[in-house]
Structure 1
């Protein structure tokens, strides 16, 4: 399906540019209870990392919303970027259209939040490109309708999360280098949260406790028991640093104090694993780009 750029839209900065949709890590995850509707109450720390999908937005004349390169056999309307754009149109009554081009770099089903981040970047950037001027809080509310992880990417900061992950407070932590392994499996998040043996009554901690080194992930015992590949990845990465599970996985990660030590681990692990080298960030590169004057 083609797209037609209007002369007016061509002059608006931001159209046709690549916008980052960064990954996140859950540096810890405690499950402190359960709501009557079945959702789990938790505490977590989300850290943005500089591993990104890239999204380009092309203006169209007819008000339609569609993908530049739809995946064969996958309903286009199920794509989170399409859902995000249509949600913006529905909420605001916007009559404009967009063709969305997604460059996928984040692994699927790894717990890095790729789809959620793509949706968040779509909400934030189209809010600007379409001139909608919705406040950040409203974009976060809309994001929550798309998924529990979308608000933190709209928020754009490393954050302490509570509730079901949508109650966010900024937290500043060291921007360390990280090595991430994606095991050859796809963890079923619903299966983990339904598991009888999952801890659901962890005592809440404070930010100070986390900074002091309380990094427990209540999902780790269940995931390691059900997915052998995750345990093997943890063992492999543990040879170089303290390895942890992000969220329900499947990705595991370790933080390093220097780029050199991170690159050494990355190089050693690369022949046998799908490995990513990244840097932890306290602020999303999406907002860094927005402030550079592109929009």
Structure 2
């Protein structure tokens, strides 16, 4: 008789436990491993009762105790109901837990929140299944890294002498191109033209300064004394930009000679541009035996190497 009574009591307790686990009005909360907390919600509910508040308080205390910088809140539902409805329900559950964490002293800026509806169940089920373990909000407290033992630093070796700076790159730039000149006054006092070929070399001496030399050979025409001539000059230029796009401005000094000229020294300004494989120059040569407005405008366009 006693044995029968014991069995009856045990059966009654077991059936009561199952009913409590499956009841739609029972809010189940649980704490998992360190730093992770889970709040389980009744069917179709997003409100918090005393048990839920206690678990959230434990998560807030863990956040404060560990000195963590981040705490995440992730809301879920089971698969009963439509996707859209479950997404909204998971958002309400996630927001309820986040608001309570803030009320318990967790800074809002430390919270990251997410609601995923029924897309990430704790227990895999078919569609339309009421599963209590899936009606949850997960709280994760990001634990700070463990302190690293301080090791006495080893004395640094005596600094080695700094190596000398590398020499400045001074690549010579060779160029060849067509040459054209417009002579404002020939020997007869008229204008004339020059056409030919120009060879040049430029050598950087500073990042912003270069020296160069040019030799032009040309034919002097449209003048009473047509014939061949030459232009030999040295230049000093201020450069800008880089090797891919380098404009410059400077001055020439040299000698002009040939048919149709009173051979003499020349001086004058020049501007130019080197870009990629191309080079272009424009100069104004003033012979020493002429006035400043009686010079020669010459231009070169060619290729550099």
TM bin (shorter chain): under 0.3
1 or 2, which has the higher helix percentage? 1
Structure showing greater Rg: 2
1 or 2, which has the higher strand percentage? 2
